[in-house]
């Protein structure tokens, strides 16, 4: 008998007389509400995390992206972003200051902002989910820059986590973002930007 077998045998013996637990009840879901209420809730929850929320129409997205990037120097633009956004950012910063998701990992620290789309937004938690498809790039692109500008279409916003999980492909990598990166020390002093972007700007597009 190996050490592993001995440990497992001891665990089985320890729990042999333990009462069997009940299957957890299904996680409750947020009732489907009016679409406008749902989007308002999403915007409020995102703002609760100290992220900036801008509600706009599709035609206004390039202008708001440029406004969010006003203090940036070099910007990452993953493949698959709306063409109008790519053109406006490239015109503002110049091709030498803009790069795609093919940028080598060693060079990513030289970029201080990234613009992406997303796979879903969750109203109940104010969470944005990326599955790193078109317009989202690989995970490193949204972890290293200090500023993340995320474009969320109103049709991508769902009620709660169970609805989001059903919408997402479990075979794809996922990044769940609830506000800017933040942590706190033993005295609960909040520090932002340690493990990811210090600033998150969410553009909620449509259905204002």
Task: Give the domain extent around 47.
Answer: 33-205
Mean pLDDT score of the chain, rounded to an integer? 87
Structure-model confidence comparison of residues 106 and 160, the more confident one: 160
Tell me the range of 10-24, 54-68, 98-112 where mean pLDDT is highest: 54-68
In this prediction, residue 30 carries a pLDDT of 57
Structure-model confidence comparison of residues 66 and 12, the more confident one: 66
Residue 12 lies in a domain: no
Structure-model confidence comparison of residues 95 and 73, the more confident one: 73
The whole-number average pLDDT for the span 175-204 is 75
Residue 17 lies in a domain: no
CATH number of the domain residue 177 falls in = 3.40.50.10420
Nearest to 81 by CA among 136, 125, 42: 136
Confidence of residue 185 (pLDDT cuts 50, 70, 90): low
Lowest mean pLDDT among 87-101, 118-132, 144-158, 188-202: 188-202
Phi, psi at 157, each rounded to 5° = -85, 125
Per the structure, the count of domains in the chain is 1
pLDDT digits (tens, 9 = 90+) for 34-70: 889 999 999 999 999 999 999 999 999 999 999 999 9
Residue 74 lies in a domain: yes
Residue 6 lies in a domain: no
Inter-helix orientation angle 61-68/83-93, to 10°: 40
Three-class DSSP category at 3: helix
Residue 9 lies in a domain: no
Lowest mean pLDDT among 100-104, 127-131, 148-152, 162-166: 100-104
Q: Could you say which DSSP state residue 80 is in?
A: T
The whole-number average pLDDT for the span 106-115 is 85
Residue 136 lies in a domain: yes
């Amino acid at each position: 008998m190996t050490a592993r077998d001995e440990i497992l045998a001891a665990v089985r013996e320890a729990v042999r007389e333990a009462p069997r637990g009940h299957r957890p009840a299904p996680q409750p879901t947020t009732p489907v509400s009016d679409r406008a209420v749902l989007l308002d809730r999403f915007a409020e929850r995102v703002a609760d995390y100290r992220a900036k929320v801008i509600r706009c129409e599709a035609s206004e997205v390039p202008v708001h992206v440029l406004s969010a990037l006003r203090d940036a120097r070099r910007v990452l633009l993953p493949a698959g972003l709306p063409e109008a956004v790519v053109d406006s950012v490239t015109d503002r910063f110049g091709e030498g200051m803009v790069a795609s998701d093919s940028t080598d990992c060693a060079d990513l620290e030289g970029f201080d902002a990234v613009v992406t789309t997303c796979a879903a937004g969750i109203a109940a938690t104010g969470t944005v989910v990326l599955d790193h498809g078109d317009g989202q790039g690989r995970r490193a692109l949204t972890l290293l820059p200090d500023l993340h500008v995320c474009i969320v279409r109103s049709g991508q916003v769902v009620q709660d986590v169970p609805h989001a999980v059903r919408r997402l492909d479990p075979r794809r990598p996922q990044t769940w973002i609830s506000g800017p990166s933040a942590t706190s020390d033993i005295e609960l002093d909040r520090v932002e930007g340690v493990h990811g972007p210090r600033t998150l700007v969410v553009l909620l597009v449509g259905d204002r």
